[in-house]
Amino acid sequence: MDAINQTNKRSLKIDFAPMVDLGFLLITFFIFTTKLTEAKAFKLNMPDDGPVEIHTNTPESATITLQLKGDGIVDYYEGFEQKPLQKGTLALYAHNSVRTHLIDKRNRILQKIGTDSNYVVLIEPTKKTSYKEIIDVLDEMKILDINKYVLLDGKQ
């Protein structure tokens, strides 16, 4: 009787090749349809290439120019460069830093004019200025909510 049971048992062979094909098709489908995370970049608004009309309604007392000298040293002047209202040197990464001075400048503008809507910061790097210093100053503009700032071509 054991011989009869052994002959009735059949071996079952399953071909997994179609299942493997289906798996690779699904993997390929999900790879092509999945959106990868996009790199987050700093938003930079560029002006149009057309002609520019310059309308300056900003009073001299509401502007400040930051000259990035490199190694964390920032020279500043308020008003025109030829005849500044106030000028000095700041450290980018010190306690009495650019941030403190920009806050103080905003407070003086608010006392004098009553609004800081014309507050303009001109950022002027030099050849010695590192990329990190430029980004750090641009971060300060964002942190202090300064809406009008200009990154100028660097001096020699």
Residue ranges making up the domain that contains 139: 60-151
86 forms bridges with which residues in the sheet?
Answer: 78
21-50: pLDDT as tens digits: 999 999 999 888 887 777 777 777 777 787
Residue 10 lies in a domain: no
What pLDDT was estimated at residue 25?
92
User: Would you say residue 125 lies in a domain?
Assistant: yes
Question: What is the C-alpha to C-alpha distance for residues 74 and 60, in angstroms, rounded to an integer?
Answer: 20
In a domain, 17, yes or no: no
Q: How far apart are CA 76 and CA 64, in angstroms?
A: 7
As a whole number of angstroms, the distance between CA 28 and CA 31 comes to 5
- Residue 92 located in a structural domain: yes
What pairs with residue 97 in β-bridges?
Answer: 91
**Total structural domains in the chain?**
1
Look at residues 116, 111, 127 and name the one whose alpha carbon lies nearest to residue 149.
116
For the chain, the straight-line distance linking the first and the last C-alpha, in angstroms and rounded, comes to 103
> What percentage of residues in the chain have a pLDDT greater than 70?
88
At 80, list the tokens: 């025109």
pTM for the full model? 0.61
CATH number for 138: 3.30.420.270
**Residue 132 belongs to a domain:** yes
For residue 113, is it within any domain? yes
- Which run of H or of E encompasses 77? strand 73-79
Decide: 80 and 149 in contact? Cβ < 8 Å.
no
Residue that has been written with the tokens 């002006």 in this structure = 47
- Residue 54 in domain: no
Q: What pLDDT, in 10s, does the model give residues 69-91?
A: 888 888 888 877 767 777 777 88
Which phi and psi angles does 17 have, rounded to 5°? -60, -45
Residue 96 maps to a domain: yes
The answer to whether the beta carbons of residues 123 and 155 sit under 8 Å apart is no
Q: Looking at per-residue confidence, does 59 or 32 come out higher?
A: 32
Return mean pLDDT, the chain: 81
